[in-house]
Amino acid sequence: MVMIRRTFIAACTTAAVAMAAGSAVAAPKEVKLGYALAINSHYGAAAKAWSESVEKGTNGAFAVKQFPSSALGGERELIEGLQLGTVEAAIVSTGALSNFVGDVGIVDIPFLFRDTAHARAVLDGKFGQDLLGKFKQRGLVALAWGEQGFRHLTNNKVAVKSVADLKGLKIRVTENPVHITAFRTLGASPTPMSWPEVISALQQGTIDGQENPISVLTSSKLWEVQKHLTLTAHVYAPVVLIVSPTFWGGLNDAQKAAFTEGAKAGAVASRAFVDDVETKGVALAKSHGMQVVEKVDAAAFRTALEPAYKQYAKKFGQPALDAIANVK
């Protein structure tokens, strides 16, 4: 009887240990993925595709938890979190990134890209891929270029139809030297500000306006705090899908491949979202009462920006600017 009882206890103990071991193996590792906008934005579309691809590609070894709407802080804080290893993954704009990876500022030069097809060809080609490689020098692992679309101007003061209309307008810009130089050259008063502060600043009149793609305008419902929209298309705005080097260093080759392929899927999803919203967003803004200036004289804006272009050529090198212009 004693022998039977001991055998039973031993069997139960073995089973419990086996179950515990099985649970430990099966438990997925959580990956924190942060971004600035709402989950129903192009950032959210990229995050969803990236998350689903990674979880499938690693057979459930990782569970990606999304932190939208700056839940982990603004973009600067997210980037610093990646460098420190407190955040595993993030989707961030070049606006904040240029303070960490200086060379990335080149893509923020006004009227640099002819159109969306040109921008995508540059970023998907050698120039864009070499630029992603430079992130490693600053403690970041950049995996893919996503998209926000072309940036446009909104404000509460005046329907901006020409360069002269910008004079004195307090425009929120990203914490980006290239953007600041451009708007100062155009006669506006650029005000660098982290995105989480923007809506309240617009409500309070601390700033007159801001500039962002239609994808941001719609996901943030900027018509609730802005009267005028001018389709300037002055800057093409990409985003970058990034992981922490600390996290990356703990992955095996197959897992790294899964995260890379997932990031590429996220990039495609962000572009698809932008393509869709570009065709609907302006009409939506109008339906909510925004006054829209459909077109500006881009040549006049480029002429006014000549002093800034000289600074950009000196900073980034004319050969780099020519290389972008020559991409077909």
Predicted pLDDT at 1: 44
Predicted pLDDT at 196: 93
Structure tokens at 118: 């040109």
Q: What is the pLDDT of residues 199-233, one digit of tens each?
A: 999 999 999 999 999 999 999 999 999 999 999 99
Predicted pLDDT at 25: 58
- Rounded to two decimals, the pTM is 0.88
**Residue 2 pLDDT greater than 50, yes or no:** no
What is residue 28's DSSP assignment? P
Percent of the chain residues topping a pLDDT of 70: 92
Q: What is the pLDDT of residues 119-172, one digit of tens each?
A: 999 999 999 999 999 999 999 999 999 999 999 999 999 999 999 999 999 999
Q: How far apart are CA 304 and CA 298, in angstroms?
A: 10
Torsion of CA 74, 80, 83, 86, to 10 degrees: -70
Fold observed for domain 28-319: D-Maltodextrin-Binding Protein; domain 2 (3.40.190)
Residues 237, 155, 41, 34, CA torsion sign: positive
Phi, then psi, of 103 in degrees rounded to 5: -65, -25
Q: Kindly provide the residue ranges of all beta strands, DSSP E only, lying in 159-247, ordered along the sequence.
A: 170-173, 189-192, 209-213, 228-243
Per-domain residue ranges of the chain: 28-319
Q: Rounded mean pLDDT of the chain?
A: 93
| Beta carbons within 10 angstroms of residue 157's beta carbon | 14
Q: What is the pLDDT of residues 34-60, one digit of tens each?
A: 999 999 999 999 999 999 999 999 999
Q: Are strands 62-67 and 29-35 parallel, antiparallel or unpaired?
A: parallel
